[in-house]
């Protein structure tokens, strides 16, 4: 059912960090690691019908609703890897204001700030 010409969602989202992330999940529980790879990514994420950038912006908003900072940072990076601009990520997080209120949204922008700062520190070129 997935498109053989599209890259896998998890290759785009995780990039070079994929082996490290998968290994961490497998160590927590091998079944859990397999469910996330085979079901969450290779089945649900790779299901056609909506582009990956939109899926990742939605994932970011849902992680704000869950109050899950570490995963939020992973999927802010994933949204940008899938082509989202910083403005689009800010727009996705801002949609949480009318639906979830300010405290959850402020925490999300704090995660965005940390991600952007870390990226700038790693790459000081203009």
What are the residues binding a copy of itself (CB under 8 A)?
1, 25, 27-29, 31-32, 35-36, 39-40, 43-45, 47-50, 54-55, 57-59, 61-63, 65-68, 71, 87-88, 90-92, 94-107, 109-110, 112-113
Residues 6+ positions from 104 with CB-CB distance below 8 Å? 64, 65, 67, 96
Q: Which residues of 103-125 are buried (b: 16+ CB within 10 A; e: fewer)?
A: ebbebbeebbeebeeeeeeeeee
CB 55 within 8 A of CB 45: yes
**Least separation in angstroms between CB 58 and a copy of itself:** 5
**Least separation in angstroms between CB 50 and a copy of itself:** 3
Pick the closer one to a copy of itself by CB: 5 or 87.
Answer: 87
**Least separation in angstroms between CB 81 and a copy of itself:** 17
């Amino acid at each position: 059912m997935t498109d053989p010409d599209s890259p896998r969602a998890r290759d785009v989202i995780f990039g070079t960090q994929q082996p490290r992330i998968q290994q961490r999940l497998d160590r927590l529980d091998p079944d859990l690691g397999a469910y996330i790879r085979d079901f969450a990514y290779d089945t649900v994420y790779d299901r056609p019908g909506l582009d990956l950038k939109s899926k990742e912006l939605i994932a970011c908003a849902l992680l704000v609703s869950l109050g899950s900072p570490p995963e939020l940072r992973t999927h802010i990076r994933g949204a940008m890897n899938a082509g989202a601009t910083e403005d689009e990520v800010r727009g996705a997080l801002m949609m949480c204001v009318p639906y979830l209120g300010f405290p959850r949204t402020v925490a999300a922008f704090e995660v965005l700030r940390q991600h952007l700062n870390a990226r700038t520190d790693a790459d000081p070129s203009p």
